[in-house]
Amino acid sequence: MTTPSAQNPRYEAHENPPILASLGFALQFSLIASATLLITPVIVAQESGESASYVEWMVFASLLVVGAATLLQVRRLGPVGAGAVLPLAAAPFTIPFCITALTDGGPATLAALLLVTAVFQIVISRWLFILRRIVTPTVGGTVMMILSTTLASVIFGLLDESSQAEPTAAPLTALATLLVVAVITLRGSAVMRLWAPVAAIIVGCITAAILGIYNPERVMQAPWVGLPSEWPGVGLDFGISFWTLLPAFLFLGIVISIQVNGESIASQRVSHRERRAVDFREVQGALSGAGVANLLASIVGAVPNIINAGIVSFVQITGVASRRVGYCIGAMFILMAFVPKASGLLSTLPGPVMTGYLIMVIGALFVEGARTVIQTGLDRQKIMVVGVSYWIGTAFQFGLFELPNLGSAWETMLSSGITTGGLAAMLMTLFLEFTNQRRMRFQSRLDAEVLPELNEFITKFAKRRGWNPAMQERLNAVAEETLLTLAPIDLSLDDEESEQSERQLIVLASSEGPVAELEFIGGASEENLEDQIQQLRQHDEQAPSEQEISLRLLRHYASDVQHQQYHDTQTITVQVEPPEAG
């Protein structure tokens, strides 16, 4: 069904392929995703010593939650959901923490922790604009790197269980699985890479069966249609285990939010024919949708979820970003929950097969964390934050030194590399934020009439930095054009409408060497300044309209313009270089 796409998608979100084609694309993605979707809940349930009926329930609940949450992301209800094809999947990096929660406190403790994590994610989505300086890519990337290290101990533990009966069977099975996924990922075509997990798991199961460590009898006996035999009666437990694990799960909420944020941005970049600025309102919707998904997971006793990372590659290869396909994907996950034979096939995978596949997952997670850090630029300060935080987390996770007797609660909390390393990264980031050269701040109503006051503020800022009159004039010009873009003069408003439409404007002025940065906060325009400037570049030969003059002047004076639109507010960040450097 897969057809290589051109550089631009054939179907954008609002466009609909024929219904049969939509079902075909959805079926293909569902098959690819389902091969690895259930690995996380199966490992969590089995490794925590829960009964077979609990494993069966967790598989059922996970499919229901992923299907319902995928539909929510596509449909978008108010501020919840991205309005795009962003299928969800169980988060593999949460495995060790979910196992600990089940082992120490039981399903009710895991449900309570996931409930708080979900609420925390929704808060992050609502206040993404404010938290962007604390939950930075440096913090998120560092925590991802620590997560990969934490997950390794659980993954390789799966080999030991199967090695008891046949010492060489488990490593050989894991090796066969790893070789298949590695070869296809490294040398396969774009289409083949989509199917790498499926092929690897099939080869791994065949190898395990040949070596005598896999018996598919349970799958053969499972009915085609049915419901779980037992409802575990999940409740909420806020006991001592909850409080000791809470910091780690809050950090997981941060990591999940960063992953969803990145996947939403990447999805936007491959889902439009024309280049567009990132719509952070859509990102906020994706974050809140993922939070609601984990709220549902808490209620039914499932595991934490993230955006399926394979969707971006799938859209690139097929050229299909249609919401219709997203609806079909969500419906297929829900239908699969009621097919025990299909879910049973995935829930009985041998441990070594899961080990072979997840080695690639943790490797990719570590590199993704490093890439997240490097993409924002590395300097001496960031290198220190990442290096120190990572090794603090690793040292505490593997108990590389003796801790004094602090009590069971503190010992449990400090034994988590996520808690210790993540906290170290955030504290060091906050220290840098509060000790940076202080930003100058200007605040007033968002109105073109405040221009004289804004110019006075900009001149004062330039003089404090010791810049020459030419730089001062350039900064004043940029400030004026940005203000007129945010608050155009509209004589059609009467006094009452003008008062109702009044908004606040905040301008933060800072510098990095000779480069000035002005951040304008306020307004709620539907138009994106970056998109408008991009459109101007495509029509430079045309005579500008009166409304375009400010945009053209801003493009001329500013070295970089970034416009981030959030619910209820927006920021325009303008960088200005000295005239002699421009």
| Confidence (pLDDT) at 472 | 87
CATH (one of 3.90.480.20, 3.40.50.300, 3.30.565.10, 3.40.50.720) for 440-490+498-581:
3.30.565.10
E strand or H helix at 505, and its extent?
Answer: strand 504-512
Q: What is the 3-state secondary structure (H, E, C) of 406-439?
A: CCHHHHHHHCCHHHHHHHHHHHHHHHHHHHCCCC
Domain ranges of the chain: 19-433, 440-490+498-581
Helix, coil or strand: residue 11: strand
Helix pair angle (52-75, 280-300), 10° resolution: 150
Sequence-ordered list of residues with C-beta below 8 angstroms from that of 15, at least 6 positions apart, any chain: 322
Distance CA 283, CA 267 (A): 10
Residue with tokens 């949708």: 289
Least confident range of 224-233, 307-316, 427-436: 224-233
pLDDT at 532 over 90: no
pLDDT band at 66 (very low <50, low <70, confident <90, very high): very high
pLDDT tens across 500-527, in order? 446 788 888 888 778 888 888 876 555 6
Residue 295: name the closest of 119, 127, 128, 123 by CA: 119
Residue with tokens 């006094």: 495
pTM of the model as a whole: 0.73
**Torsion (CA) 59, 62, 68, 72 in degrees, nearest 10:** -160
**Torsion (CA) 280, 281, 285, 291 in degrees, nearest 10:** 60
Residue 180: name the closest of 205, 148, 152 by CA: 205
- Specify whether the CB–CB gap between 577 and 514 falls below 8 A: yes
Residue 221: name the closest of 52, 448, 436 by CA: 52
Six token digits for residue 132: 């962007």
- Specify whether the CB–CB gap between 111 and 235 falls below 8 A: yes
Mean pLDDT calculated for residue range 333-343: 83
Q: What is the CA radius of gyration of the chain?
A: 26
pLDDT band at 224 (very low <50, low <70, confident <90, very high): confident
Six token digits for residue 563: 């416009």
Mean pLDDT calculated for residue range 273-278: 73
Six token digits for residue 76: 């978008």
State the chain's mean pLDDT as an integer: 79
